[in-house]
Structure 1
Amino acid sequence: MALTRIALLVSLCYVTACSDQQTAAPASEALDRILGRSMTQEPVIRDFDPAQVARGQAIFRNNCAGCHGQNAEGTPDWRKPLESGRYPPPPLNGTAHAWHHSTEELKRFILNGGPPGEGRMPGWAGILTDQEIDDVLVWIKSLWPDEVYEGWYTRIENRP
């Protein structure tokens, strides 16, 4: 009887060990590691005012779309310098590098033009109001995929 119990216990341990295979971490855990956040951190929720998003889109299309495209898709071959050595307007829709900058930096680029030496974007100070620039920035951020927005918010915008 004791031998049967031992055999049953060994069998149970063997089955448990075989069925307890390690599985790949869920995608959300992998994203947490990439974003450098703890597993318990709440996801970033975008709570944009739809009216502000709509205003930003209209302002963008009236003032910025001539260079950056109607949907902020940028210029084809935007990574390739022009003959002048400067770069054409990049996408602002989350597929380029705009999300590498804080809101304040993006606002400075819009107000003052630039970035210096890299592009030929004019400054919009005195042409667009602060509110109009804020509206445009909210519209641009609304275009970013969730993963891009969350990475931007976690690593750039909301740094301690």
Structure 2
Amino acid sequence: MKHILIIAAWSVATGAIAGHELDDRDLTNGQALYVEQCASCHGANLEGQPDWRTPDEDGVLPAPPHDKTGHTWHHDNQLLFEYTRLGGEEALAARGVTGFASGMPGFGDTLAEEDIWDILAYIRSTWPDRVQEIQVGRNPPHD
């Protein structure tokens, strides 16, 4: 009984019971779409571009890794979704961050919303359990 209560408390705290956006997604579709739409910039193994923390001559950062070495898992799901759908600059501007030169284009005209969620779920599925748990905790609980 004690283990059930602990699991239930963890699930409520992380949103796992309450319909987490990245739960129950089509990871096969996400992986295929990642390879087709994302890997050319973010790497076939989610490794990102070299020197991804150093802006180029235009002030644009190279594509970061989406594996555990990058910062993708530091962000909440909604920002990741908006960043993918709208593009980096527009997504950040919607949150009040202006003047950031992002090389991330928006895929809202290319990918369906469900496909974006599948890609994000695939990316999350590659992270170690501990990293996944930390990232889940960055999301507001769902009703």
The interval holding the TM-score normalised by the smaller chain is 0.7 to 0.9
Instruction: Give the drift of 1:146.
Output: 1.2
The structure showing larger relative contact order (alpha-carbon pairs under 8 Å, at least 6 residues apart) is 2
Match of 2:135 among 113, 129, 152: 152
Query: Using the alignment, how far apart are the partners of 1:92 and 1:73 within structure 2?
Result: 6
Answer yes or no: is the 8 Å Cα contact 1:89–1:119 preserved in 2. no
- What is the TM-score with the length of structure 1 in the denominator? 0.65
Percentage of pairs with the same residue: 37
User: How many angstroms apart in 1 are the aligned matches of 2:130 and 2:29?
Assistant: 24
1:68 aligns with 2:42: yes
Q: Which position in structure 2 is the counterpart of 1:110?
A: 84
> Where does structure 1 lack aligned partners over 5 or more consecutive residues?
1-37
The number of residues matched between the two structures is 120
User: 1:101 — aligned with what?
Assistant: 75
String of CA shifts for 1:43-97, please: whole Å, max 9, x gaps.
878x955x71111010010011110001211111111111111100001112111
TM-score by length of 2: 0.73
Q: Does 1:140 align with 2:114?
A: no
Write the letter of the residue equivalent to 1:147: R
RMSD of aligned alpha carbons: 2.7
In structure 2, C-alpha distance between the alignment counterparts of 1:142 and 1:118, rounded to whole Å: 29
